[in-house]
Chain A
Amino acid sequence: MTTVTTTPTSGEAEAVIIRRAQPWWQLLWRDKFACVAAVWLTVLAFCLIIGPELLGDTATQLNLRARNAVPGLENGPMWILGGDPLGRSLLARLIVGARNTISVALTAVFIAMTVGGTLGMVAGYVGKWVSHVIMRLADVVQSFPSLLLAVIVLYMLEPRVGNLIIVLATTRTPIYLRVTRAEVLEIRERVFVDASRALGSGRFHILRNHIAPIVAPTLLTIMTVDFASVMLSESGLSFLGIGIQPPAITWGLMVAQGRNYLAQAWWLAFFPGLMIMFATLSANILSSWLRLATDPVQRWRLETHKKEEDDK
């Protein structure tokens, strides 16, 4: 044969394109939708961390003049989105609701990721038998509609926040499990792991130093989508009355309560729902941006200037 080596030619063009990466913030700046989404999520994070403290008791303060107040500035800036049947500021309640809604979703996703990721690594790295048991368990959870599963479990257990988080986390765990396992199975066959093993590293070392860094970006992308879908599930359950119970506030619960006043005060159900939608939409936009930004073959689509894309 010959010493002039070659990579597969069909990939040649792609290989030339992807060599030099741009820093992520430049890529983010290029995609205006992703940019807005990131800003919105930052605002929500702000509400989550210090919002309720900043507001004090505004969210619980009764204001009889502002009962079912129409959105506008007549009752002061806090009542810009209107007031509820007890005259409490809807805006303040939305901000307080943000903490519950988002922290439930975040906790559930985080638990699902940790448990799923760990189980996935175990399933990918240990013997066939254990792996088999883990995968069948994942099948059981995944083959049944998640909301239904949550409805049933919350029926049998008490609808407490802790239970709600556990149920939501359980329904999402199989996804992380499968993704991690698939990646582990692929990566562990690669040469560098063999090399590392030959040098005498233990399993834990290989998992932590070689496999975890590669699996992490994929898991992060899934986490953002999952955050959106867990938030929708929690809102749905709270809306049905089997999620978070009053007097705690979440956006889903606020929609359910506002539903009774639909004809008189539409804003009570409308704005909380809109908040849910904006939050999930932002997470979804950001995750599809992440997916593109971490995929070397598709990444040029983010890097190319708009003008050049229009020729053809």
Chain B
Amino acid sequence: MLHSSIALIGLIVAVFFLARLTGDPTNLYLPIDANLETRQEFAKLHGFDQPSHVQFVKFVKGIAEGDLGFSIRKQRPAFDIVLEAYPTTLKLAFTTMTLVITFAVTVGALAAYKPRGVFDRVASISSLSTASAPDFWVAITGILIFSVALRWLPTSGMGDGIEYWIMPVTVLMLRPFGLQVQVVRASMLGALSSAYVKTARAKGVRERRVIYVHALRNALLTIVTVAGDQTVGMINGAVIVETVFGWPGIGKLMVDSVIQRDYAIVQAAITITASAIFLLFIIIDLLYVALDPRIRHR
């Protein structure tokens, strides 16, 4: 936990100073063609003319008070804009991760049961394929097939109907699913060839129970670790998926802000995302303690 808080602080500091190091911060906020006068006026208004350490103190104070800067383009506090975008991304990420874990555990466990069997080969190749597929390409190919050609699903936008969710969730699932299947398979193989599984078989435990109780319960430790990393990585996928499908989430907000050069929002988004990741790491640590008695008693 100490490690992740150091990481959190390090990242926020890095974002602040990187922006100053790259030269005139007004470059980051204003259109490239802004004239000198506008720049100076802007710098004065936002305190960019002051020395870096003064600005940094102001920046940290701001974070403590929940003030993460002001979006000039949108004329609103950046914090509010970012918070509005978050629920969309969280809903998308939560749905996706739930499906990823459910499917990956089922497929990975079945594949590990008979290594190199027919099912294992099919599972291996398909999980490798989904892990290798460029998500943006699958997304637009999906739009091409299901929206343009077949007219079954909407091309973009977020709605309440399930038809709006199918493509974004599927595309977002691809990579984590592919990786997780392989993780589940490998850790199940490890568990199934372990000595304690031999003991269970010698006791007369049926194969189904050996797999789903004795082996899976141990494999879960690895699965949870990977799932945690993948949840963080969801943001990567969300950037692409939200952009392609036009979902008003944090990923699209960030890309839009980068393209429109709205640095206040980018900075606020990073700060909040880093805090969210920090929280997530704490949850994973707690989950890990709950799952592994060896850590609990140390």
Contacts and interface: CB of A to CB of B under 8 A. Distances in A.
Given A240-B239, A284-B128, A309-B116, A143 B134 contact: no
Nearest to A157: B22
B161 to A, nearest CB: 23
A151 B255 contact: yes
B155 to A, nearest CB: 9
B110 interface: no
Contacts, number: 146
A127 to B, nearest CB: 19
A136 B7 contact: yes
B232 interface: yes
Interface residues of B, number: 57
Interface string B229-272: 00011111001100100000000001100110100001000100
A298 B185 CA distance: 13
Interface stretch (B12-20, B64-72, B76-84, B214-222): B12-20
B152 to A, nearest CB: 16
Interface in B175-221: 182, 189, 195, 198
B236 A140 contact: no
A277 interface: yes
Nearest to A283: B132
A167 B124 CA distance: 31
User: How big is chain A's contact interface, by range?
Assistant: 35 or more
A214 B19 CA distance: 41
Contacts of B259: 241
A188 interface: no
Contacts of A309: 116-117
A79 interface: no
Main secondary structure of the interface of B (DSSP, over half): helix
Contacts of A143: 4, 7-8, 11, 232, 277, 281
A228 interface: yes
A4 B57 CA distance: 72
B134 A235 contact: yes
Interface in B125-167: 125, 128-129, 131-138, 140-141, 143-144, 148
A281 B235 contact: no
Interface in B1-59: 3-4, 6-8, 10-11, 14-15, 18-19, 22, 28
B92 interface: no
A276 B129 contact: no
Please list the 6 inter-chain residue pairs (A to B) with the smallest Cβ-Cβ separation, ordered nearest first. A273-B137, A147-B236, A280-B132, A281-B132, A145-B235, A140-B10
